């Protein structure tokens, strides 16, 4: 395992809290890595993970900012996976953000994303929404991995949608008329890549995973454990208390680690708040045995 970021922790509090799922402008977040770290510190978060979609480009800046404000920063990434045992998002935590095979793979995915974005723009145009890829790219933060949230922002700005939810509901969701499948890794490939990069791999927001007929959260987790997954995001901002308890019990039953995060993107993108993880409350570090 690589070191878990810088080892300084928030001072002036008896309880260190964590948020191990947050996004920056390197992917589809609203805040730069520096702004995210400062916002986390202001929210009382003592340990933060930057987990941008399919990129580690924001980690170096976040690490430097974390040293300045005195919180611990864990390098991470969020990967999309398809194929057996089904679609899901996987969090890689404690990775080496400079690991070349990881970044080479992410560069390939990024190029496929660029092609996909052009296809989404074409579908929107055929639907009578004159949005171009150049317009979306120009409106996105410099260096961002452009994706559907950036299209949603342009649709809202143009008046073609009321807000992000409306943009996804009408055009961009997985069932929407402008949706285009994206190139992803299989779960086995993603788990192996995270491990090779020195990290641990967790199933992200299990309460949001779409299960096949006859499938249960337990059968999905058993299949992922057989592939080598380390744990699951039992503590998640959108999980109900009942869901949280369910996933904690499953983690114990299957001998899996647990993590927790807000999935913060920014106030205009979602209602998630930094550090608000357990039914709207902070997550103490002592709930996560592996940290």
Query: Do 94 and 192 have their domain in common?
Result: yes
0.95 exceeded by pTM: no
Average pLDDT estimate for 227-233: 98
Q: 263 with 289: CB under 8 angstroms? A: no
Do residues 47 and 191 both lie within one domain? yes
DSSP H helices, the chain, are 33-42, 59-69, 100-126, 133-139, 148-158, 164-167, 187-196, 217-226, 241-254
- DSSP state letters, 209-221: PPPPTT--HHHHH
Rounded Cα–Cα distance for residues 263 and 16 (Å): 19
Please indicate, yes or no, if residue 274 is contained in any of the structural domains.
yes
**Domain-embedded: residue 59:** yes
* Tens-place pLDDT, residues 79-126: 999 999 999 999 999 999 999 999 999 999 988 888 888 999 999 999
**Res 182: pLDDT:** 79
In terms of domains, do 190 and 281 share one? yes
| 8 located within any domain | no
Residue 139's pLDDT is 84
CATH of the domain at 138: 1.10.150
**Res. 127: pLDDT tops 50:** yes
Nearest to 147 by CA among 166, 168, 161, 130: 168
The two beta strands, 283-284 and 17-22, are antiparallel
Q: Does residue 83 sit in the same domain as residue 198?
A: yes
Pick 276 or 5 by higher pLDDT: 276
Q: What is the mean pLDDT of the chain?
A: 92
Q: What is the CATH classification number for the domain harbouring 282?
A: 3.20.20.140
Residue matched to tokens 């993880």: 277
User: How many domains does the chain divide into?
Assistant: 2
In the chain the first and final C-alpha atoms are separated, in Å, by 12
Judge whether 88 and 217 are in contact, CB under 8 Å. no
| Range of the structural domain that residue 146 is part of | 106-172
Q: Does residue 121 belong to any structural domain of this protein?
A: yes
Same domain, 193 and 283: yes
pLDDT band at 10 (very low <50, low <70, confident <90, very high): very low
pLDDT digits (tens, 9 = 90+) for 40-84: 999 999 999 999 999 999 999 999 999 999 999 999 999 999 999
With b meaning 16 or more CB within 10 Å and e meaning fewer, what string describes 199-223?
bbbbbbbbbebeeeeeeebeebbee
Q: Looking at the predicted structure, is the pLDDT value of residue 140 above 90?
A: no
Is residue 64 in a domain? yes
CA–CA gap between residue 258 and residue 137 (Å, rounded): 36
Mean pLDDT calculated for residue range 204-233: 97
């Amino acid at each position: 395992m690589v070191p878990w970021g810088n080892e300084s922790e928030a001072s002036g509090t008896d309880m260190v809290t964590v948020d191990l799922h947050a996004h920056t402008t390197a992917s589809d977040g609203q805040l730069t890595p520096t702004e995210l770290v400062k916002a986390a510190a202001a929210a009382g978060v003592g340990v933060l993970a930057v987990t941008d979609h399919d990129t580690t480009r924001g980690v170096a800046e976040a690490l430097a900012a974390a040293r300045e404000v005195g919180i611990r920063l864990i390098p991470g990434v969020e990967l999309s996976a398809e194929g057996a045992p089904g679609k899901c998002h996987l969090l890689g935590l404690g990775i080496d953000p400079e690991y070349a095979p990881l970044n080479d793979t992410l560069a390939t995915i990024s190029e496929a994303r660029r092609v996909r974005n052009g296809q989404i723009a074409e579908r929107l145009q055929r639907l009578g929404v004159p949005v171009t890829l150049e317009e979306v790219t120009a409106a996105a933060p410099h260096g961002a991995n452009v994706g559907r949230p950036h299209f949603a922002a342009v649709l809202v700005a143009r008046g073609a949608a009321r807000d992000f939810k409306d943009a996804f509901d009408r055009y961009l969701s997985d069932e929407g008329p402008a949706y285009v499948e994206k190139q992803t890794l299989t779960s086995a490939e993603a788990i192996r890549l995270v491990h090779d990069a020195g990290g641990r791999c967790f199933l992200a927001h299990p309460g949001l995973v779409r299960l096949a007929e006859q499938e249960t959260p337990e059968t999905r987790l058993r299949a992922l454990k057989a592939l080598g997954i380390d744990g699951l995001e039992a503590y998640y901002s959108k999980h109900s208390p009942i869901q949280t308890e369910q996933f904690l019990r499953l983690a114990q039953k299957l001998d899996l680690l647990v993590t927790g995060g807000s999935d913060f993107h920014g106030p205009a993108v979602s209602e998630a708040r930094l550090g608000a993880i357990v039914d709207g409350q902070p997550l103490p570090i002592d709930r996560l045995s592996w940290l």
